[in-house]
Structure 1
């Protein structure tokens, strides 16, 4: 992310609970979706929406397993990050900030 561009761009802020989990439509293949933080866990906090997605590694929890995915941070609060990653389609979910590390796709 270009630091000068990020400094000059105004922050866009929305309530975190308005950014909902997204799962691809995989037809007849039924796989359980990953867990995303609940509205109560998000705590009615304002989230900063990235002017440009930030490449990250993040731990995502599914019902039977946790997976470390490469993806992009799209928004964040002080304690949670809204991430997007691709695996047979595009997924989006809220995870705890401590489950996210900068890096990822081009980092």
Structure 2
């Protein structure tokens, strides 16, 4: 895999793992109903290796929830040429894979 223009790994090469080994993370809400975001499937990830961030990278990302999108401020933890593994805080810690085109570096979500 060549250099990634969107999330360069810097002078020290970042370790990589299989993208589908990084699973969706959701807080335990007990009996309370809370919509959970959709994460990309292993088929959508394409069995590609993912580059792990040496430090979390601040990002804005569009995340899909049932029936509505959410524009979140979070951190990129890993990426492939087509997807980014994003972490954010909203009533607990969430992690999900989203399409790379739904993510941009830094800024504040509107």
What do residues 56-95 of structure 1 show as CA deviations (whole Å, max 9, x unaligned)?
0000001110000000000000010000000000000000
The answer for the alignment partner of 2:67 in structure 1 is: 64
> Structure 2 CA distance, aligned partners of 1:51 and 1:22?
20
The answer for the alignment partner of 2:18 in structure 1 is: 15
Does residue 39 (structure 1) correspond to residue 39 (structure 2)? The answer is no
Conserved 8 A contact 1:71-1:104: no
Pairs aligned (count): 100
Give the helix-richer structure, 1 or 2: 1
Does residue 76 (structure 1) correspond to residue 94 (structure 2)? The answer is no
The answer for the alignment partner of 2:97 in structure 1 is: 94
Query: What stretches of structure 1 of length at least 5 have no aligned partner?
Result: 1-5
> Structure 2 CA distance, aligned partners of 1:34 and 1:96?
13
Conserved 8 A contact 1:56-1:101: yes
Cα RMSD between the aligned structures? 1.2
Deviation at 1:46, TM superposition (A): 0.3
> Structure 2 CA distance, aligned partners of 1:49 and 1:96?
16
Query: What stretches of structure 2 of length at least 5 have no aligned partner?
Result: 1-8
